Amino acid sequence: MRKLAKENLERARSFVEEYGRKLDRSLLAFDLDDGSAAAVIEALGSYQNEDGGFGKALEADVRMEASSVLATTVAFQYLRRVNAPGTDPLVRAGIRYLRDTFDAQAQIWPIVPPEVDGAPHAPWWSYAGTEKAFGGFRLNPTAEVLGYLLDFPDAAPPDLLARLTETVVSRVDEIPEEMEMHDLMCCIRLVETRSLPDGVKMALVPRVERAAERIVERDPEKWSGYSVRPLSLVHGPKSPLAALLAEDVQRELDYEIETQGPDGAWGPNWSWGGDAWLQAERDWKGYLTVHMLRTLYGFGRL
């Protein structure tokens, strides 16, 4: 079993300290040192707008100031990682934004608003066509957002949560065996919700496992391209798919150690060009490097 050498760990740390966003530097300190959750939440606050949602290029491929459900789900990924309390004003404002943007008739959250077209963004985030491209938002981002609402008991009326939970489970049952990769990732985040009712989890986990088996890319030769790597689906040793993909995860951990960049970072395996991409790529590298170090730490690879 390979481990990341100490000098390579220090190179990764140096990259994050020099080029990473304050938010990711704070998360690195939280994950590996004695950093506080409060520092992460404070840094995250700089991406929150008056409407309670998050924007300001928090999701590095969408570089608009305005809020989006996409960026707000990213914010709640950070909040979940540091176990942010539901009483925190930042959390409460974020939940309010999610409630305000919910399409109750369609039982969905539109992932980005029309304002996205007025700012630099990856071409796949252009407003026109997003609903079709993202499956009508039936699972992405709706399943993930449901998990965040369930994290906080007073986030939404119980009858709304019960109805939406039933809707999401039904949608998962209706789709083909080979689930779209981002739909699957949103479902995994829902399954990872600590307050998810046991019956719902029991219904979703087998479906998620079958979808993961069909979609995961097991060939390391193809990991340099845009593919569903095992660690895209397994966020740590306690992940609901950790046992199912155990051998694949260990193989990818070796691969990630071997392919660390010469600058100490791990970078995105996609790009969209232009001047804005230069900053977006740097933001992604900071984010992905912190995420990888946390993953390596969790699996005893540091």
At 105 the pLDDT is 96
* 237 and 253 Cβ atoms separated by less than 8 Å: no
Q: Domain residues of the chain, as ranges?
A: 53-216
Can you name the residues that pair with 108 across neighbouring β-strands?
103
Region of residue 21 (phi > 0: left; psi between -120 and 50: alpha; otherwise: beta): beta
**0.85 cut: is pTM over it?**
yes
Residue 233's alpha-carbon distances to 99, 190, 271, in angstroms, are 27, 12, 21
Q: From CA 248, how far away is CA 148, in angstroms rounded?
A: 28
Q: From CA 281, how far away is CA 297, in angstroms rounded?
A: 24
Show the low-confidence residues of the chain (pLDDT under 50). none
Secondary structure of residue 121 in the 3-state scheme: strand
